């Protein structure tokens, strides 16, 4: 009997050692980071910068995989169905909070099927117009839009895109309905704006900075609460539309049932990565702002997601901006 107890105890200790070793070895193979948008876009650029910096922190390889389509829902659904082993992650933006309202058929639940690891960056947006626009300041532009709303075309990069969401918020804040023109991406939307085929666009600074600095478009405002260092001459939209504030925040997620120890290690890696000088410099160049420390946690990121779902639901319902 004593021998049997010793044998069982030895087996238990061995199992514990093996389990501990397995976690200590994580990650022992490449981690796939799913970006639910096309390569080269702003979310993809941030994800690749994070993967490089975070991989160094967790001593593992993080490989970005682009799974685009349906406003980011295809890639998110793929991660929701993936094993919770820490080897398939999702890097998504504000679209995670709007998907439940935008899509009547959604095969995942943002708050239930994922564990947020932490929020990473917030990308402000800019309100720009075709080069032929004659208004010289934000106040005059908004007045012109209100008077000529039947003639104004508001471009966006497709349903669920950040530019689509900013456009919805702009119309809601102005209590004005405009003709929206969806494109298949940001590049064709900006091309149409440059050609004078559409009038205005509200999109991420990562997409518009080059055009603004080159003087190829008219820039009128930023969507952040305060002015941005990159655009010191542009006023916040809130200066004319009180309370207007929107940024394209990004969160790294794991599938539900991912072990707590793995989440803890990934969270620590994320928090260290966003302090990496190379990452910080890259985000500054893009106009992206590092999220506050309290958002760089699982609890903080989940609170942000929950609050944004509540914020966007009535705006989308009022606009009847649904997708199948």
- Token couple for 301: 């990121």
pLDDT for the residue numbered 159: 83
Question: Which 3-state string (H, E, C) describes the chain?
Answer: CHHHHHHHHHHHHHHHHHHHHHHHHCCCCCEEEEECCCCCCHHHHHHHHHHHHHHHHHCCCEEEEECCCHHHHHHHHHHHCCCCCCCEEEEECCHHHHHHHHECCCCCCCCCCEEEEEEEEEEEEEEEECCCCCCCCHHHHHHHHHHCCCCCEEEECCCCCHHHHHHHHHHHHHCCCCEEEECCCHHHHHHHHHCCCCCEEEEEHHHHHHHHHCCCCEEEEECCCCCECCECCCCEHHHCCCCCCCEEEEEEEEECCCCHHHHHHHHHHHHHHCCCHHHHHHHHHHCCEECCHHHCCHHHHHHHHHHHHHHHHHHHHHHCCCEC
pLDDT value at residue 38: 84
pLDDT value for 58 = 98
Beta-bridge partner residues of 181: 155
List pLDDT tens digits, range 24-58: 689 999 999 999 988 888 899 999 999 999 999 99
User: What mean pLDDT is predicted for residues 299-304?
Assistant: 98
The answer to whether the predicted template modeling score (pTM) of the entire model surpasses 0.95 is: no
Whether residue 177 is predicted with pLDDT greater than 70 in this model: the reply is yes
Q: pLDDT tens for residues 147-164?
A: 999 999 999 988 888 899
Is the pLDDT confidence value at 308 over 90? yes
Which of 23-27, 183-187, 242-246: highest mean pLDDT? 242-246
pLDDT of residue 324: 60
Report the chain's mean pLDDT, rounded to a whole number: 91
Share of the chain above pLDDT 70, in %: 91
Tokens of 262: 């793995």
Phi, psi of 102 (to 5 degrees): -75, -35
What is the C-alpha to C-alpha distance for residues 223 and 227, in angstroms, rounded to an integer?
9
Q: What is the pLDDT of residue 24?
A: 63
Whether the pLDDT of residue 94 is over 60: the answer is yes
């Amino acid at each position: 009997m004593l021998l049997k107890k010793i044998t069982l105890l030895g087996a238990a200790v061995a199992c514990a050692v093996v389990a501990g070793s397995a976690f200590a070895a994580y990650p022992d193979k490449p981690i796939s980071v799913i970006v639910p948008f096309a390569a080269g876009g702003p979310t993809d650029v941030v994800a690749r910068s994070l993967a490089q910096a975070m991989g160094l922190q967790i001593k593992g390889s993080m490989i970005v995989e682009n799974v685009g389509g349906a406003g980011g829902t295809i890639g998110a659904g793929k991660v929701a169905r993936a094993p919770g082993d820490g080897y398939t992650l999702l890097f998504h933006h504000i679209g995670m909070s709007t998907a439940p309202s935008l899509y009547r058929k959604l095969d995942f639940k943002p708050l239930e099927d994922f564990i947020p690891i932490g929020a990473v960056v917030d990308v402000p947006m800019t309100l720009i117009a075709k080069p032929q626009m004659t208004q010289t300041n934000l106040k005059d532009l908004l007045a012109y839009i209100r008077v000529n709303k039947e003639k104004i075309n508001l471009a966006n990069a497709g349903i669920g895109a950040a530019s689509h969401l900013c456009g919805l918020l702009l119309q809601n804040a102005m209590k004005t309905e405009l003709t929206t023109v969806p494109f298949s991406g940001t590049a064709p939307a900006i091309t149409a704006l440059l050609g004078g085929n559409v009038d205005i666009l509200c999109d991420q600074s990562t997409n518009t900075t080059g055009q603004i600095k080159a003087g190829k478009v008219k820039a009128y405002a930023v969507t952040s609460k305060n002015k941005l260092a990159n655009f010191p001459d542009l006023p916040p939209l809130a200066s004319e539309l009180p309370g207007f504030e929107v940024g394209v925040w990004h969160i790294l997620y794991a599938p539900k049932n991912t072990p707590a120890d793995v989440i803890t290690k990934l969270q620590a890696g994320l928090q260290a990565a966003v302090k990496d000088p190379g990452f910080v410099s890259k985000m500054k160049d893009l106009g992206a702002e590092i999220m506050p420390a309290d958002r760089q946690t699982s609890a903080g990121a989940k609170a942000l997601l929950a609050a944004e779902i509540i914020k966007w639901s009535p705006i989308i319902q009022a606009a009847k901006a649904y997708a199948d």
